[in-house]
Amino acid sequence: MNMHPIEQEELMAYLDGELPVDRATLAAGHLEHCRGCQSLAADLQGVSRRLMEWQVESVNQEIGAVVAAALKEPGAKPRRRPRRIWRWVWAAAGTGVAGMLVVSSLQLASRRQKMQLAGDQISTLQAPARARHAQSIDAISAARHFSEIMIARTAELTLTTNDFDKARSALEDILKRHSGYVGQLNVNAPPSAGRTLDATLRIPANQRDTAIAEIKKLGRVEAESQTGEEVTAQYVDLEARLSNARNTEQRLTEVLRERTGKLADVLAVEEAISRVRGEIEQMEAEKKTLTTRVEFLTLVVRLTEDYHAQLHMAPDSILGRCRNAAIAGYKSMVNGMVAVILFLLAYGPSLLIWAAVLFFPARFAYRKLRRT
């Protein structure tokens, strides 16, 4: 009976990083406890180590000069086999120079688009498992290399204006004109101070300079600051992780489709797919956020109104004053009555008790005084 769930060739492929995920998981699990396979793995690794004993010396540096000459100087002398190299040099240089001229003149306009396409094509090429992540990063880097660096920008403006209402409506106009939007907006109007507007605005990055210049005209600039954070590496890393996760998901789905094993294995693969899908969605959200941060400038604006205290010089009318006096008298009367009632309610019971207690001694004392 065969006790090994994987073949020897598969074990070798596992050590080479060439096995699909499901088989690799199986191989790793089996290798942990199978002495026979551990021995085979040690043998295979030993062979690789022994092969590495055969190191060769470095290449002759002169060939660099010949190749460079083929690129730029048709007259450069070859290192050896002069006639043949001369022919190579002339032919290659002629081809290279002519090719460069033709290619640069014809393809310059379409180069950028071509590079982007290349990035997509490269990412779909077959790559060794051990280099897949690095290749994804390279491909995306290559694609990004030909576009501008990704910078997430933020700016802050503090303005003071005489005409708050006009400035606010102008701010909304500017936002609309530049296809921006309000992230957050708060307006405060304290009684003894000027109104303030605190807003977080999102403006397309390609219109940021114009928009900021227009907003600065809305009042007196009290403070201004701008910051930029380069997120190219973050984006590239995110794209690479996303690409790898998608590949993993695809491979797991294929495994699930083709699998005819135990129910527990199927459930394990489904669980893995679910986990990977969650990671993909999380990374897609992060990517979207990052892209928005790059494509839109975050502008924090604080607009303050110049405060002018109000002074009322005109006296009140007689009728108004009489009305106010009548109201004051009425309030005073009501307040007095209420105060008496409250006093009686508060102290009445105590006064009655004391009156009852002191009544007879007082009457006795009064009568005695009258007799004398």
Residue ranges that bind another protein, judged by CB under 8 A: 8-9, 12-13, 16, 18, 43-44, 46-48, 50-60, 62-64, 66-68, 70-72, 79-81, 85, 88, 91-92, 95-96, 99-100, 103-104, 107-108, 111, 114-115, 118-119, 121-122, 125-129, 135, 137-139, 141-143, 145
220 DSSP β-pair partners: 160
Closest to 30 measured CA to CA, from 7, 48, 47? 7
Q: Are strands 220-230 and 196-204 parallel, antiparallel or unpaired?
A: unpaired
For another protein, the closer of residues 42 and 362 by Cβ is: 42
C-alpha–C-alpha distance, residues 183 and 93, integer Å: 58
Q: Are the beta carbons of 129 and 15 closer than 8 angstroms? A: no
Contact predicate 231/290, CB 8 Å: yes
Cβ closer to another protein: 72 or 176? 72
64 vs 320 by CB, closer to another protein: 64
Instruction: Please identify, using beta-carbon distances, which residue of 121 and 225 lies nearer to another protein.
Output: 121
User: Which residues make beta-bridge pairs with 187?
Assistant: 197
Kindly state the helix (H) or strand (E) to which residue 234 belongs, with its residue range.
helix 232-258
Determine the straight-line distance between the first and last CA of the chain, rounded to whole angstroms.
140
Residue 75 beta carbon to another protein: minimum distance, rounded to whole angstroms: 16
Closer of 50 and 308 to another protein (Cβ): 50
Compute the C-alpha angle 215/216/222, nearest 5°. Answer: 130
Give min distance, CB of 165 to another protein, in A.
55
Task: Give the contacts of 216 (CB within 8 A, at least 6 positions apart).
Answer: 157, 159, 224
Q: Which of residues 126 and 310 has its CB atom nearest to another protein in the complex?
A: 126
Residue number, 16 or 281, with CB nearest to another protein: 16
Structure tokens at 42: 């040690």
Residue (211 or 238) nearer to another protein, CB: 238
In whole angstroms, give the CA distance from residue 68 to residue 72: 6
What single-letter DSSP state applies at residue 309?
Answer: -
Contact between 152 and 290 (Cβ < 8 Å) = yes
CB of 244 to another protein, least distance (A): 16
For 301, residues 6+ apart whose C-beta sits below 8 A from its C-beta are 156, 157, 158, 159, 171, 197, 198, 199, 200, 201, 215
Largest CA distance in the chain: 165
Cβ distance to another protein smaller for residue 152 or 242: 242
